Amino acid sequence: MELLESYLKAVKRYLPRSQREDIVAEMSEELRSQIDAREAELGRPLLATEQMALFKAYGDPMIVARRYRQGGMSLSLGWELIGPEIFPMFLIILGLNTSIGVVVTIAILLYIHQPISTAALLRPAIIQLMCVTFTFTILNLVRRKFPQPWYYPPAALAPMIPIARWISISGLVVWCTFTLWWAAIPAVPSLFLGSAAKYLELAPSWHRFYLPLLLLLIAGIAQRAINLRKPFWTALFPVSRLLINAIALGLQYPMIKSYPYILVADASNSAHARTIAANFNIGIFWGVLSWMWLYHLISAVIYAWYSAPHLRRLIDHLNRDTELTHELKGIL
């Protein structure tokens, strides 16, 4: 009943605290009865895929939990930004991201012997509020268009859910566009610097990170292309994302330390050029690098969680093969 427990935990996460235990106990009894009845009908234990079919028929954990919440909170500004089904997950992710961002910011300020100010702590909190809200607003729009697929499924059940085509296609469109832009920057610096490319240039340290980042982008595109063709290769999705985010996270520190990122190309230029270069450097540092490490860290943790069932399955498979080998040797 490991899969059942995983499903119940997923539903429990979105239930009202005061009613969680009672509701989960009721659901557990109902689902166990369905499983027992199906096993009695077949005369054998249910396969994992057959249990998953029952859970799919019962519903997405977010939607199931929604049935037990009266009203439910949402975020609206004239029109619904984040619906009540995914609002609990929005609060969980926002709280996690913001907490990690603030704690690590304090640690960094202490490490570099800088004063801990309200502005310094508000910056990561505001960035996370904007990024998480934007992400969940897009997810809310997707749920309206594709109401059936599960979002944030339990890790134990995720291997049995094929990668949705819209996920692979949207990823290909976005990241192919970004990768082409990144690949073209050395030949056409104005794609990055705009009209300032006449008197600004990328710092030499930038070239150390150009190729590694390009390879990571290509790896992400390859994963999406393969999963578009092979949606049931569910292990590829979390494992490749785990590796990509872990490598990108490792690049963050040397990238941050390589400041400044933009230089004035011609020393004869006026103070205006130096001001523009300083604005670029501040924008890159605070607008991208100061929070991108947090994105990669949290992504790596999430995909490690989703990769764990695949690793356990691989270990079990290797153990069975070893046992079978020992048995054959004993027979021979």
- Region 230-254: mean pLDDT is 93
Mean pLDDT of 176-201: 91
- The dihedrals phi and psi of 260, each to the nearest 5 degrees, come to -85, 155
Closest residue by Cα to residue 218 from 163, 169, 178: 178
> Average pLDDT in the 66-73 region?
69
What's the token pair of residue 150? 């599960």
The dihedral over CA atoms of 44, 45, 49, 52, expressed in degrees to the nearest 10, equals 130
> pLDDT at position 180, please?
96
pLDDT of 194 higher than 60: yes
Can you tell me the distance from the alpha carbon of 28 to that of 18, in angstroms, rounded to the nearest whole number? 17
pLDDT for res 105: 79
Burial (CB count within 10 angstroms: exposed 0-12, middle 13-18, buried 19+), residue 101:
buried
Identify the pLDDT of residue 303.
92
CB atoms within 10 A of CB 75: 17
pLDDT, position 248: 94
Task: Between 88 and 112, name the one with better pLDDT.
Answer: 88
Q: Which pLDDT value is given to residue 215?
A: 96
pTM of the model: 0.74
Contact (Cβ atoms closer than 8 angstroms) between residue 162 and residue 232:
yes
Residue 166 CA to residue 170 CA, distance in Å, equals 6
Would the pLDDT of 156 be above 80?
A: yes
